[in-house]
Amino acid sequence: MRHPVDKVYVTDTGIVREHNEDDGGIFTNEAGDYLAVVADGMGGHQAGDVASRMTVNLLRSVWEPIHQSFSVEEAEHWLKEQIRDVNRRVYEQAASDQKMAGMGTTVVAAMCMRSFTVIAHVGDSRAYQLSEYELNLITEDHSLVNELKKSGQLTEEEANDHPRKNVLMRAVGTEENVDIETASVQWQAGEGLLLCSDGLTNKLNADNIQEHLQAPGSLHERAVSLIHTAKERGGEDNITLAVILQSSLEKEVE
């Protein structure tokens, strides 16, 4: 049986770019569980939107027919295998068409079951866990700047303004094989997840994001206000976010 959630997916081109190379969505399977995905494409000749769209469509197509639940271990294995398969297909597509050479995409995906979520990611699109009081970053950016920060070569402030901030150490589709990072978190009524592209996190820090998500209004209104604020602060990149919250209504009796 489907567990009650409040969910929203919004994306915006921003105010500088001509095309939106982000993609994503929140999809329900036959078992009533949810898969949230955000992908931030890259590559010339508008190939970035091909890579992100392929990634989202392939994950959606294998998710929606599923009619059984997963354990944490099964979910981590399933999600890694699907992203490996997506990576192979995007890589092969890029190799087969000169116009798509070098295309790739980030991906952050969350399998949202009744009592836990499993997150997998490649690149610098992020997942945060939401509670009534906190917004906690679950993922770690696979970026050059983050590696330099971890090794002590950059401070947080220097990292925020670094000219090579957008250089990724990993992406889907740029190599034949990809290293995928996974995490699992327990969640309960009133808690949730935010997945987003760096078009949001380059403009708002965690405190800013939390303020918007806890503001009055519907979840859709709060998500749109995040997009609006990112655009007010420059909007140089595409901006995408998916939020999924477990209903705070009393849990159904098993």
CATH number at 232 reads 3.60.40.10
Beta-bridge mates of residue 100: none
Which residues contact residue 48 at a Cβ distance below 8 angstroms, ignoring those fewer than 6 apart?
Answer: 19, 21, 40, 41, 42, 103, 104, 105
Half-sphere exposure of 63 (CA within 13 A, CB side): 28
Q: How many domains does the chain have?
A: 1
The tokens describing 152, both together, are 């002590």
Is this prediction's pTM over 0.85? yes
Could you tell me if residue 128 is inside a domain? Answer: yes
Give the pLDDT confidence score for residue 248 in this predicted structure.
66
How many residues in total does the chain contain?
A: 254
Cα gap 245→161, rounded to integer Å:
32
Beta-strand relationship, 22-28 and 104-105: unpaired
Cβ–Cβ < 8 Å for 246, 8: no
Residue type, 128: Y
Could you tell me if residue 139 is inside a domain? Answer: yes
Cβ–Cβ < 8 Å for 125, 108: yes
Give the pLDDT confidence score for residue 146 in this predicted structure.
85
Q: Helices then strands (H, E): number in the chain? A: 7, 11
Closest to 35 in 3D by CA, of 73, 82, 1: 82
| 3-state class (DSSP) for residue 44 | coil
Could you tell me if residue 70 is inside a domain? Answer: yes
**Helix (H) or strand (E) segment spanning residue 36:** strand 34-42
The tokens describing 218, both together, are 């519907």
Cβ–Cβ < 8 Å for 100, 93: yes
Could you tell me if residue 251 is inside a domain? Answer: no
pLDDT tens by residue, 142-186: 998 888 888 888 877 777 777 777 789 999 999 999 999 999 999
User: Cα–chain-centroid distance for residue 11?
Assistant: 12
Cβ–Cβ < 8 Å for 143, 197: no
**53 φ, ψ to 5°?**
-65, -40
Give the pLDDT confidence score for residue 249 in this predicted structure.
52
Give the pLDDT confidence score for residue 252 in this predicted structure.
40
How far CA 131 is from CA of 30, 91, 197, 246, in Å, comes to 27, 37, 20, 10
Taking only the tens of pLDDT, the chain with its 254 residues reads 578 899 999 999 999 999 999 999 999 999 999 999 999 999 866 799 999 999 999 999 999 999 999 999 999 999 999 999 999 999 999 999 999 999 999 999 999 999 999 999 999 999 999 998 899 999 999 998 888 888 888 877 777 777 777 789 999 999 999 999 999 999 999 999 999 999 999 999 999 999 999 999 999 999 999 999 999 999 999 999 999 999 865 444 33
Give the pLDDT confidence score for residue 1 in this predicted structure.
57
Give the pLDDT confidence score for residue 23 in this predicted structure.
98
Could you tell me if residue 252 is inside a domain? Answer: no
Task: Find the angle CA(167)-CA(87)-CA(150) to the nearest 5 degrees.
Answer: 35
Q: Is 190 left (phi over 0), alpha (psi -120 to 50) or beta?
A: left
Cα gap 208→200, rounded to integer Å:
10
Query: In which domain, by residue range, is 209 found?
Result: 5-246
